Structure 1
């Protein structure tokens, strides 16, 4: 991925150097979770390492911070014209918060065990950059464009928030099966929007190197609900899926990339996801 030497975003809030002030406390007892909420893997090594520390950032931390800033800047420059031209909506830049261990958002407290997430309450993406290393080491989904896909997916949720689809999908009083179906549609649309970003970023900036989309597809496969459930020793149960199968995530990512068109990302109106 071609990103070095490019403009970074001013909308990154880096809290990683603040330290953890005595560790995780009660949250530290939750490291027994074998499956993180978003990516469904054991993230206890990240949580266990938050023992208070000096708050100093390593060179790798600095590199990841620069990378995240550039990718976020790219999403800003792509979504401003795309959302205006395709949906008639003015794009509002989200803030991306880099944190380590635990973080407080308008959606409540969270730990690294949740994986990256978007909070519509404050229009912020929250990300522990150690997660990128875990993607490579534990999920077989390394590479800078795999990491860019994660960021673009979360920004995709921000686009959903701006268009109103995110709020509409978060209905109350639904059965578990119906709530899961809406959750899958929401996540697959965010994947499709990540593909739209990749398509336009390539056309505008020449971002992609050979093999970059393969990296993103491997990441999409690794976070499929069926792959996650199998890796946890469970039989995949589609009715329990909340993010979509590996094949679905790859399909909708490529649908966005091949079309570059938000109209092709209507997962909510699709009979067959």
Structure 2
């Protein structure tokens, strides 16, 4: 068997196992259950939540948005070189990209407004459907906090992260050198371990039932390995795939994640009663780690 293929299969197995392990820790251990926390325990969980918020903020800006905009720009350049139509505004030079219409930003905005529309529609038709907490959470646990950790938004968070994970795996699967595949896999592995831990925390906070949390985490863990498998298939068939369609879908997923990050996760963590400077520190720490990982990922 080709040594490069062996490396990619090893990356596939490693991502699957590590993602599952890191996701199951907060999902299955009672210490992480928000409704059980009191005093110092609650403060620690709040700071972990702020760290997770910073992780999601960093993943949104430094990974998902950067990848989506870069891929769309690359696909548009290919079509421009092939004679395709790419609108420009007052362009004075063929090589000037600054005047290209911001298609990437437009598609990301579409994803943002898509979730906004769906949630608004559901809330209009059934007001209790979106802002309903799990039955196991008491009113005192969320006193003074916005009712924003809904099952619907947790599902959108899970879906957009899962979608992005497919493309992370795809990037590993299409690598042509062993060293490049291993380096990218290590960066994605660290990234996924932190993100899945944070995702699991948010699923717990949203009141998602235990069986659904487990299902979400297993599905999420399978996404990057599935992407690696698709990437291996593409590399073996020497096919370029549908690059533009992939870039568009990733941009839509980024828009949905943008909505949840700024209208769900950050407002919730910033409304807690802990020290504002401490919250800022842990949010910044989470963001900084994702920014560092972006150097290699």
Q: Same fold (TM over 0.5)?
A: no
Using structure 1 for the length normalisation, give the TM-score. Answer: 0.32
Q: Rg: which structure is higher?
A: 2
Q: Which has the higher strand share?
A: 1
